Amino acid sequence: MSAIGLVDAGGANLGSVRYALERLGQTVCMVRTAEDLVGVPRVILPGVGAAAEGMRRLHAQGLVEPLRTLQVPLMGICLGMQLLFEASEEGKVDCLGLLPGVVRRLHPGVGVRVPHMGWNKLLALRESPLLDGVPAGASAYFVHSYAAPVTSDTVAACHHGGLFTAVVQRGRLCGAQFHPERSAGPGARLLRNFIETDFP
């Protein structure tokens, strides 16, 4: 069985994502250089923290162009999903540019705290193999202050001071703003779907 490539972008969720994959019976290969991407059938880009620091680390590891030209399914998690987009207001940084849109700060308000932290419901907007077996109205665990806009690539959204993208898919490019490794059954199912789906 080929190993899932897990990009070490310095995020604090690296270990928990690895354990979640291993619980699903997967072998994990840590990706720290472009050479580590050779031969892996799928890649997961986790991340926690600031977009500018995440991109700085990817540049330092020589992973930006290899990720941009990757020919296998790629899933970003939390900050990793945000880095799939064109740019982020956080640090005014250019990201990987694989998905259209700019990541922007969530707006606090009455009853709306930023960072958005805790369980919140997923609102499915279109069909995707990523959501197969995930119950309608399922909740997932979020920790973030910035979010991607809802676009035609949005599979599921979430509401916190406004709608934002919670799950995204364009072909073999996928992402989850929430932490599937901390989201119990729905999170495990999303990861399994990413692993098992034959993306176009």
Asked if residue 61 lies in contact with residue 38, where contact means CB atoms within 8 angstroms, the answer is: no
Catalytic, out of 22, 116, 181, 196: 181
Tell me whether residue 29 is one of the annotated catalytic residues: no
Catalytic, out of 78, 95, 158, 174: 78
Question: Rounded to whole angstroms, how far apart are CA atoms 26 and 107?
Answer: 38
* Burial class, 170, CB count within 10 angstroms (exposed 0-12 / middle 13-18 / buried 19+): middle
| Cis status of the peptide bond prior to 115, with omega within 30 of 0 | yes
Question: Rounded to whole angstroms, how far apart are CA atoms 165 and 146?
Answer: 11
Tell me whether residue 89 is one of the annotated catalytic residues: no
Question: Rounded to whole angstroms, how far apart are CA atoms 154 and 168?
Answer: 4
Amino acid at 158: C
Tell me whether residue 78 is one of the annotated catalytic residues: yes
Cβ neighbors of 127 (< 8 A, separation 6 or more) are none
Catalytic, out of 22, 174, 179, 196: 179
Question: Rounded to whole angstroms, how far apart are CA atoms 64 and 30?
Answer: 16
Structure tokens at 145: 């202050």
CA 152 to chain centre: 17
Residues that are catalytic = 78, 179, 181
